[in-house]
Amino acid sequence: MTYQRNFIKELTYTAVGIFIVLLAILVSTQAINLLGRAASGRVAVDAVAALIGFWTLGMTPLLLVLTAFISTLTVLTRYWRDNEMVIWLSSGLSLKQWIRPVLQFAIPFALLTAVIQLSVLPWAELRSREFAEILKQKQQLSLVEAGVFRNLGSRDDRVYFVETFDTDSGVMKNLFLREVDDKGRESVVFAKEGTFSLTDNKRTLELSNGYRYNGTPGQADFNEVSFQHLSLIISVTPKVVNAADSRRTIPTVDLFGSSKPEYQGELLWRLSLPVSVLILSLLAIPLSYFNPRTGHTYNILIAIGFFLIYQNGQTFLRNAVISGQLNFWLGLLPMHLLMIAAIVILLRVRSMPAQPFFSALKGGSK
């Protein structure tokens, strides 16, 4: 029908604008936060863009939920404000006839949310943690300060000292290093130059043009060895991020059938967001009711209240499932069923806006 095509077209244009605005607000806020942390040295400057990308991807499902809900609410509220909905109801039509076009608009949002929530986000979360670990290791390698004794890696028996350090090239001049092995033998290294490197999952200290002295303190067994190049392994492999270490990185297929409460709670959350796109879009139909005579947009406040109750309720039930207080189905169904009941009741009432609330509820819809 013509009204359906025009309605979906207007919804699409509105959704694009709302999504861009919400995305711009959230990204700019997070960018300011990360740039502030980078200025204070808590985050590497070259990692800001990647961290913003991972964070934005993680927020996309919630943005899609909000976009579908706000778009439907905005367009239908305009219909009420311009008296188009009054003409609709006066013609003997019901608000229930808006369900089909609203679902045609919301189902693609729900499918996209499901794909991101079930497949993309676990992968992105794992890549984000791996990136953070690599970044952390690079920061440890680059944490060099001239004239200060520092531990080499995580070992307390390895200490090095650098006379000068070029921050641009990463080259250390006149380097001194002392280490003690498990047998108590001491090794002292003097080198003219040295650099840190991270290759093939190995963190190494590359030294050139120096001497190495080995022996046991108090005994005359020290020997001297000169070298042109010496590689000291700091760490054999960086920390490997395992997908099973966090419920947020576990693939969705591994969550099904699991008896672990934290896995059930994560699966509940991943399934709930796509469903909430459809439910909130349908809920926007009766919540869009606006009385042009009063001029008050109380429906917006009511819609915000419903959204907060819905999302906070789902979060509360998810946490209850994770803590083992509820089983999976008791955590998944209540809030969705409650919102569906609210949709049925409000559609019945708003189809007869001239009637008092309880009279419309008892009298039935047109």
CA–CA gap between residue 225 and residue 220 (Å, rounded): 16
CA–CA gap between residue 281 and residue 102 (Å, rounded): 7
Residues whose CB is less than 8 angstroms from the CB of residue 161 and which lie 6 or more positions away in sequence, other chains included: 147, 148, 149, 150, 175, 176, 177
CA–CA gap between residue 236 and residue 156 (Å, rounded): 17
Q: Can you state the percent helix, strand and coil of the chain, rounding each to 5?
A: 60, 15, 25
Using one digit for the tens of pLDDT, what is the confidence trace for 223-275? 888 888 888 777 655 555 555 567 888 888 888 888 889 989 999 999 999 99
Question: pLDDT tens per residue, the chain (366 residues)?
Answer: 667 788 899 999 999 999 999 999 989 988 888 788 777 656 666 677 888 888 888 899 999 999 999 999 999 988 888 888 878 777 777 788 889 999 999 999 999 999 999 988 888 888 877 777 666 655 555 556 677 777 766 566 778 888 888 767 778 888 888 888 777 788 888 988 888 776 666 777 888 989 888 888 777 777 888 888 888 777 655 555 555 567 888 888 888 888 889 989 999 999 999 999 999 999 999 998 877 666 666 788 889 999 999 999 999 999 999 998 999 999 999 999 999 999 998 888 877 665 665 555 665 544
Beta strands across the sheet bearing 150-151? 150-151, 158-165, 172-180, 186-199, 202-215, 223-235
**pTM to 2 decimals?**
0.72
Burial (CB count <10 Å: 0-12, 13-18, 19+), residue 294: exposed
CA–CA gap between residue 119 and residue 31 (Å, rounded): 26
CA–CA gap between residue 184 and residue 325 (Å, rounded): 54
Q: Could you state, in order of their start, the residue ranges of all structural domains in the chain? A: 2-138+243-363, 145-235
Q: Are the beta carbons of 229 and 216 closer than 8 angstroms?
A: no
CA–CA gap between residue 207 and residue 177 (Å, rounded): 10
CA–CA gap between residue 314 and residue 295 (Å, rounded): 33
Distance between the two ends of the chain, CA-based, in angstroms?
Answer: 20
CA–CA gap between residue 192 and residue 211 (Å, rounded): 9
CA–CA gap between residue 273 and residue 266 (Å, rounded): 11
Q: Which two tokens stand for residue 86?
A: 């009054």
How many residues does this entry show for the chain? Answer: 366
CA–CA gap between residue 343 and residue 211 (Å, rounded): 80
Q: Are the beta carbons of 10 and 71 closer than 8 angstroms?
A: no
Q: Which two tokens stand for residue 329?
A: 């189905």
